[in-house]
């Protein structure tokens, strides 16, 4: 398994989970017919994940430098991108990588700046292509993760202070197999136990 594959998988999973946070509210019945998107989360989640995406790319470039490379001359992501580009190690245009770097800097340093999910998706495509080309991740890692959510029916509870309970399971599948699963139980308590 290439060095950054685990971190890449985790980032892709976080992106899918974050994009689907409204599905949880729909599943538990808070929003019975429409998805509720929280305006603050719609700004924060893609912004944080975009910054993480570019940081992961930067870490992979640093790890990919060979021991003969003078690291003191490559202290910034800009210089590392230029170095790898000059060595012919990128398959896509360097401008796209510099755009990601610049956007990350804006998000990290300018108050009120935020990213969109479209920017995250575009960044994942660019970074994923380059990481696969550098053999930092394998090409198979880019297979999609799919959000799932399941709700049981109301059942009698085995808890002595509860009358009934419902189980909620949600998470991610890949190739119809669960890769992340979360669960919770909602209970209707007996009178006097609220």
Q: What would the pLDDT profile of 96-123 be if each residue is shown by its tens digit?
A: 999 999 999 999 999 999 999 999 999 9
pLDDT at 27 over 90: no
pLDDT of residue 111: 94
**pLDDT average, residue stretch 1-20:** 88
pLDDT of residue 50: 98
**pLDDT average, residue stretch 48-52:** 98
Of the chain, the percentage scoring pLDDT greater than 70 comes to 91
Q: How confident is the model at residue 66 (pLDDT cuts 50, 70, 90)?
A: confident
Task: Catalogue the long-range contacts made by 124-127 (C-beta closer than 8 Å, 24 or more residues apart).
Answer: 124/12, 124/15, 124/53, 126/92, 126/96, 126/97, 126/100, 127/53, 127/54, 127/56, 127/57, 127/100
d(CA 111, CA 16): 26
67-100 pLDDT, tens digit each: 778 878 899 999 999 999 999 999 999 999 999 9
d(CA 125, CA 68): 30
**pTM listed for this prediction:** 0.86
pLDDT at 158 over 90: yes
For residue 6, the cross-strand partners are: none
pLDDT of residue 140: 65
Buried b (16+ CB within 10 A) or exposed e, 157-172: beeeebeebbebebbb
In this predicted structure, which of 28-37, 146-155, 179-188 has the lowest mean pLDDT? 28-37
Ordered by start, the domain boundaries in the chain are 5-143, 147-189
d(CA 183, CA 170): 6
pLDDT at 37 over 60: yes
pLDDT of residue 17: 92
d(CA 23, CA 25): 5
């Amino acid at each position: 398994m290439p060095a950054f594959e685990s971190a890449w998988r985790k980032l892709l999973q976080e992106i899918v989970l974050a994009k689907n946070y409204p599905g949880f509210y729909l599943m538990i019945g808070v929003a019975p017919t429409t998805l509720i998107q929280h305006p603050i989360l719609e700004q924060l989640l893609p912004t944080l994940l975009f910054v993480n995406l570019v940081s992961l790319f930067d870490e992979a470039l640093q790890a990919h430098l060979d021991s003969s490379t003078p690291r003191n001359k490559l202290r910034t992501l800009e210089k590392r991108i230029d170095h790898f580009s000059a060595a012919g190690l990128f398959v896509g245009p360097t401008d796209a990588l510099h755009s990601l770097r610049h956007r990350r800097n804006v998000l990290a340093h300018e108050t009120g700046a935020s990213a969109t999910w479209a920017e995250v998706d575009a960044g994942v495509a660019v970074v994923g292509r380059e990481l696969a080309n550098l053999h930092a991740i394998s090409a198979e890692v880019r297979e999609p993760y799919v959000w799932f959510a399941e709700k049981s029916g109301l059942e009698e509870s085995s808890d002595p202070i509860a009358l009934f309970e419902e189980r909620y399971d949600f998470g991610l599948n890949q190739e119809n197999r669960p890769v992340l699963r979360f669960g919770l139980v909602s209970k209707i308590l007996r009178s006097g136990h609220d």
